[in-house]
Structure 1
C-alpha cells in the first residue's frame, strides 16, 4: 500500500539562511513546514517494509488455501506465521501514524505566523494551505482506522484457519468481509494521496507567492 510523502528537496542555502531568520512570518512558516517534512521521514521509511510484509503474508495465504485438511498441522504453522506478519504490519502502521501526527503537530505552528502576514492574498492562500493539510491529516486518520480494521479481520481469518471444524461458508464469509475492508482501505488511500499532491502543489505556490528564493527538486 504505497502512500505519497509530502517531502520536497529544497536548496540547502535556503534552509541555512532561514534557520538564522525570525522576522518574516512567511519564512517562519517555511521553517515549520519543512521541519514537518523531516518528522514525516519515519512515515516514508515504513512504506517499503509494509509492502514487503503484505507480499509475504499474501504468499503464505496462497500456500494455505492450496492445502487440504489432511495437512492440518502445516496449515496451523503457516497461519501462525501469517498472524506474526499481520502483527508486524500493525507495528509499522503505528510508527507511520506517530510520524504523521508529529509532522502535523509541527505544521500547526504556522497558525500564529499566518496571523502575522500583512499581505491579504498571501494570508488567504496560507489559510487554504492549512485547510488542505488538515484535510490530509484527517484523511490519514480514516485510512489508519480502515487499515487497522482490515488487519484485525486478517488475524481473525488466520485464527479461523486453525480450526479443524471450519466450514467453507464460514471461510467465504470472512474472506468477503476482508475484501470489502480492503476496498475501503484503497478508497481512503486514494483520498490521502490526492490531498498530499494538492498540499505539495499549494506549498510550492505559497513559497513562490511569498517570494522565497527556493529551488525545488521533485
Structure 2
C-alpha cells in the first residue's frame, strides 16, 4: 500500500467518524447543562451569605449599643463581627471558584456553535453564549464590589477597637461601608438581570433545537 492509498483511507475514516459524531446542538446542550451543574451549589452559598449578612447587621447594632453604654461587651461583639466578615470572605471565594469553573466549561461552546448548520439556531446559540459572558462579567463586578465592602468593614472594626480613633474618622468609615453596600446592591441587580436573560436565551435555544425539557425560566 503506497502513501496515497494510506492517506485516502485516513481521510475516509475521519469523514466517517465526523458523520457519526455528536450533533453540535447536542454538544451545546451538554455544555450548557454541565456548566449549570457546576453552579448547583450557588443557591446554598448565596443563602449562607445572606444569613451571615443578617448576623453581621445584628452584631453591628449590638456594637453601637454597647459602645454608647461603655460596655465591655463591645469587645466581644467586635471579635464576633470580625469573624463574621472573614466567614463571608470564605463564602465569596467558594462562589468565585464555582462560577469560574462553570465559565471555563462554557468556553467549549464556541467550536460547537460554528458547526451549527441552521442559521437561526446558530444565531440563538451565540445569544446564549454572549448572555452567559455578560452574566459572568456582572458576577465578577458584584464580587469585586462585595470584597471592598468586607475590607472596609474590617477597617471599621479596627478603628472601633482603637481608642485613639476620633468619632469623625469612624463616621467617615461608616459612610464608606454604607456607600459600598449600595454599590453591591446595584451590581447584584445587574447580575440577576443578566441571569434572567441567560436563562431565557438558553430556554429559547432548547425550544429551537427541539429538546424536550422543562424550562427553568
TM-score, structure 1 as length reference: 0.86
Query: What is the CA distance between 1:175 and its match in structure 2?
Result: 0.8
**d(CA) in 2 for partners of 1:70, 1:55:** 23
**d(CA) in 2 for partners of 1:93, 1:124:** 34
> Kindly tell me: are residues 156 and 22 of structure 1, through their superposed partners in 2, closer, same or farther at Cα, counting changes over 3 Å?
farther
Number of residue pairs aligned between Structure 1 and Structure 2? 198
Query: What is the CA distance between 1:108 and its match in structure 2?
Result: 1.6
Q: Does 1:197 align with 2:196?
A: yes
Query: What is the CA distance between 1:183 and its match in structure 2?
Result: 0.9
Query: What is the CA distance between 1:216 and its match in structure 2?
Result: 2.8
**Relative CO higher for 1 or 2, CA cutoff 8 Å, sep ≥ 6?**
1
**d(CA) in 2 for partners of 1:68, 1:32:** 54
> Kindly tell me: are residues 159 and 22 of structure 1, through their superposed partners in 2, closer, same or farther at Cα, counting changes over 3 Å?
farther
1:24 corresponding residue in structure 2: 23
The CA RMSD over aligned residues, in Å, is 1.6
**d(CA) in 1 for partners of 2:67, 2:177:** 22
Structure whose CA Rg is larger: 2
Query: What is the CA distance between 1:54 and its match in structure 2?
Result: 0.7
Q: Does 1:97 align with 2:75?
A: no
The runs of 5 or more residues in structure 1 that have no matched partner are 1-20
**d(CA) in 1 for partners of 2:210, 2:113:** 16
**d(CA) in 2 for partners of 1:193, 1:110:** 22
> Kindly tell me: are residues 50 and 119 of structure 1, through their superposed partners in 2, closer, same or farther at Cα, counting changes over 3 Å?
same
TM-score, structure 2 as length reference: 0.87
Q: Name which of structure 1's ranges 163-172 and 77-86 shifts more when overlaid on structure 2.
A: 163-172
